[in-house]
Amino acid sequence: MEEILTLDQIVTKFVKDESNKEYIEFLEQKIIPICEKILSKQPQKLEKRNWSRKVDINESIENVYQFLKQEINPYFANQFMNIIRQERYGNIKVNILPRSEYKDKNYYFNEVDKKGKVHIYFNETPYDMFSIIHEMIHKMNETYEIIDNEKYKTELAQYFAESPSMMAEKLLGKWLVKNKKITHNDLKIVENERLKDSKFFVKEILIEYELIKMKQAGEELTPENILKRLTDRANHSPETIAKIFKHEIKEPTIINGILLNQTMGFIASQQYIMGQHLSDNLKNRENPNFEFIYLHYKNGNKNSKVEDVIERIDDFITDPNKIDEKTRIIDKVVSEYIKDLSKIIYRSNLEQIKEMCEEVLRQPYPKIETEEWSREIDINESIEYNYKFLKTISSMLAEQFMNLLNQYDENGKAVSILPFSDEYKCIQYTNEGKVFVYYKNTPEDIFTLLHEMIHAMNYSSKTTGRTDGQSYISEVPTHIIENLLGKWLVKNKLITQNDYNKYKKWRLEHSKKVSCGVLIEKELIDMKLKKGLYITRPRVIGAIERKCHIKDPKIFSEEESEYCYTELDGILNNKELKFEVHQRYIIGQYIADKVDKEKNPEKSFLRFHDLAGNVNLSPGEALRIIEEYQEEKDR
């Protein structure tokens, strides 16, 4: 005969078991904070206590099937029906029997037993549909493994086993009312019953938690010590919680249950509390159906860990109506971007771009001896230097350069060159082959002019704008040519090394700014797309404080943090993400730095110049070429 343990022995054994440490931590950090919220929920007021109608069991099964098919996924619906009909070696997998035939109603209850067999006892009421979906979701996300003659439960299921089933109940109820299969009053009866059960589990959790804390503090669980503890908690807790301790003092239901079962019950109880919490807050989620599907699959995955889902679970307490206005704007911008199917090609390669961002941030700035330019340079002089330099690369390019300068179209000159002024907006850019340059009569003009002219020289009038493939590498030839031009100018003593370093510093600074822009926008996209979270101010600040999760945080200084905040201001002002444009400059800087170390950088420039003008360049081919430079670390 087995030894009957005392309450002190049972709790001591549980607390000392190292395998229970994580359950206790989860209880303290996640479950206890939501217990009071569940206790404070009041049952919904009923119009009447009777069901609206009798529902045949076959109709209940059909309604659940149609719900899964229409609202969740046809695959779910087919899996559901296949399991119900399944029979292997003469043994049915699902028992659906009338409860009226069983006199001992306390013994026969709905469950998936230890061997994975489903038992559902129906009453021909609307409640049957909720019982069916609850138990069948358990069945549908099990692992189908039997270990030591018991059904295997995944690590995640130890915490969230009840959550998908209770979330499915909530979604089903909404669908049934919408489609007039049941009344609002029927749904209130079901939800009140579920809340009643959850409140019982809260009671069990709170009492067992106090016993655990007593043992952790080294107290012996004697009747006197327990009475003192529960009395203290009853006197110093909110009324909803105090009632539980007062009731346990008067009638020790939970403690007697522990002694009867010779074990603690909170691991199973907290699963119901978490399920109640998540199902109650589905209304705050952007896509409630997906939240159910996500946790359903995670629950049945043997490789899923609590840390994989906990941030998403924590987000269920976020009320979207209480997010501040600025953050709500950013959240909306990111959400709309994710929904745009034409953007998939860009966001799917962000991880690859992130690696280049880190490499750009790692680059040191060139040494600057003085902030002043060495001399004034007339714009015509800048044009002449560009022409002479291009002749060293390709005579054909040099002639194309000059021809473009003198070219006209129906809207006037193809190249607009005007003096820079603070009185009007002066942005250096090229649009559909037309160049706009504003000069300052400094060495900077030489670089600016050639940069924009190269864009125009590899522009194809066959397309409107650039194709996706071209967009990826559009800034590569311009960045490479700037490096080649700078060295040529210094070699021929047309500018000083300090002039060239000043321009290189400006270029690198710009590349670092846009790198930070990409990093923070990737964080925002990951929050929404990968983690399914609302974008909130604390999360955004946290992402920046964690250096956007880069591998080498030492290269991310206060300056980079400021660049991230500047990018956020840009999203607020422009109501759009900019990483598609930013990444072009990052790729340009990254590859230009690699090419600069090659024996024949001119050859690489000509290659990328041709590619940038190739309207047939696919995104996949462009990314493959970029990857070549990422793989060859020592080019």
- The answer to whether position 300 is within a domain reads no
Mean pLDDT of 105-114: 78
pLDDT at residue 324 is higher than 50: yes
Distance CA 73, CA 66 (A): 10
Distance CA 276, CA 248 (A): 23
Query: Which is more confidently placed, 511 or 433?
Result: 511
Mean pLDDT of 413-423: 88
- 3-state SS of 586-629 is HHHHHHHHHHCCCCCHHHHHHHHHHHHCCCCCCHHHHHHHHHHH
Query: What does the pLDDT read at residue 89?
Result: 54
Q: Which pair of structure tokens corresponds to residue 38? A: 């569940």
Please, which residues have CB within 8 angstroms of residue 627's CB and are 6 or more apart in sequence?
352
Residues 415, 561 share a domain: yes
Query: What does the pLDDT read at residue 209?
Result: 97
Of 284, 319, 352, the position where a domain reaches its end is 284
Give residue-wise pLDDT tens across range 543-586.
Answer: 999 999 999 999 999 999 999 999 999 999 999 999 999 999 99
Of 129, 152, 182, the position where a domain reaches its end is 182
| Structural domain that includes position 609 | 379-631
SS3 46: coil
- The answer to whether position 440 is within a domain reads yes
Most confident by average pLDDT, 430-434, 529-533, 629-633: 529-533
- The answer to whether position 323 is within a domain reads no
pLDDT at residue 180 is higher than 80: yes
pLDDT at residue 409 is higher than 60: yes
Pair 151, 142: CB distance under 8 Å: yes
Query: What does the pLDDT read at residue 635?
Result: 45
Distance CA 621, CA 359 (A): 22
Cβ neighbour number for residue 618 with a 10 Å cutoff: 15
Query: What does the pLDDT read at residue 631?
Result: 83
Number of folded domains that form the chain: 3
Residues 200, 168 share a domain: no
pLDDT at residue 437 is higher than 70: yes
Residue 493, CB-side half-sphere exposure with 13 Å CA sphere: 0
Query: What does the pLDDT read at residue 104?
Result: 61
112 forms bridges with which residues in the sheet? Answer: 118
Residues 583, 437 share a domain: yes
Distance of CA 232 to the CA centre of its chain: 43
CA-based end-to-end distance of the chain: 76
Distance CA 581, CA 123 (A): 62
Which of 209, 197, 205, 204 is closest to 279 using CA atoms? 197
Please, which residues have CB within 8 angstroms of residue 329's CB and are 6 or more apart in sequence?
571, 572, 575
Determine the angle formed by the axes of helices 579-595 and 476-491, rounding to 10 degrees.
40
Residues 69, 36 share a domain: no
Residues 177, 200 share a domain: no
Residues 245, 217 share a domain: yes
Which of 205, 509, 162, 146 is closest to 361 using CA atoms? 509
Pair 269, 262: CB distance under 8 Å: no
pLDDT at residue 530 is higher than 60: yes
Query: What does the pLDDT read at residue 360?
Result: 98
Local structure of residue 154 (DSSP, 8 states): -
Residues 579, 440 share a domain: yes
Give residue-wise pLDDT tens across range 328-340.
Answer: 999 999 999 999 9
Query: What does the pLDDT read at residue 93?
Result: 84
Mean pLDDT of 21-30: 95
Which amino acid is located at 159 in the chain? Y
Mean pLDDT of 36-57: 96
Pair 355, 630: CB distance under 8 Å: yes
Residues 427, 541 share a domain: yes
Confidence of residue 467 (pLDDT cuts 50, 70, 90): confident
Q: Which pair of structure tokens corresponds to residue 308? A: 């994989």
- Using the CB atoms, write b or e for 68-86: b if 16+ within 10 Å: bbebbeeebbeebbeebee
Mean pLDDT of 456-483: 85
Give residue-wise pLDDT tens across range 594-607.
Answer: 999 999 999 999 99
- 3-state SS of 419-431 is ECCCCCCCCCEEE
Confidence of residue 462 (pLDDT cuts 50, 70, 90): low
Distance CA 148, CA 143 (A): 14
* DSSP secondary structure string for all residues of 200-267: HHHHHHHHHHHHHHHHHTT----HHHHHHHHHHHHHSS-HHHHHHHHHHHHS-HHHHHHHHHTS--HH
Side-by-side strand order, sheet with 94-98: 94-98, 118-122, 111-112
**High-pLDDT (> 70) share of the chain, %:** 95
- The answer to whether position 495 is within a domain reads yes
Residues 14, 120 share a domain: no
**High-pLDDT (> 90) share of the chain, %:** 83
Query: What does the pLDDT read at residue 634?
Result: 45
Residues 466, 412 share a domain: yes
Of 148, 182, 216, the position where a domain reaches its end is 182
Q: Give the chain's mean pLDDT.
A: 93
Query: Which is more confidently placed, 43 or 145?
Result: 43
- The answer to whether position 423 is within a domain reads yes
Local structure of residue 29 (DSSP, 8 states): I
Pair 80, 136: CB distance under 8 Å: yes
Query: What does the pLDDT read at residue 231?
Result: 97
- The answer to whether position 175 is within a domain reads yes
Please, which residues have CB within 8 angstroms of residue 464's CB and are 6 or more apart in sequence?
432
Q: Can you give the pTM of this predicted structure?
A: 0.84
Residues 158, 249 share a domain: no
Distance CA 453, CA 397 (A): 11
Mean pLDDT of 531-540: 94
Element at 33 (helix H, strand E): helix 32-40
Residues 435, 542 share a domain: yes
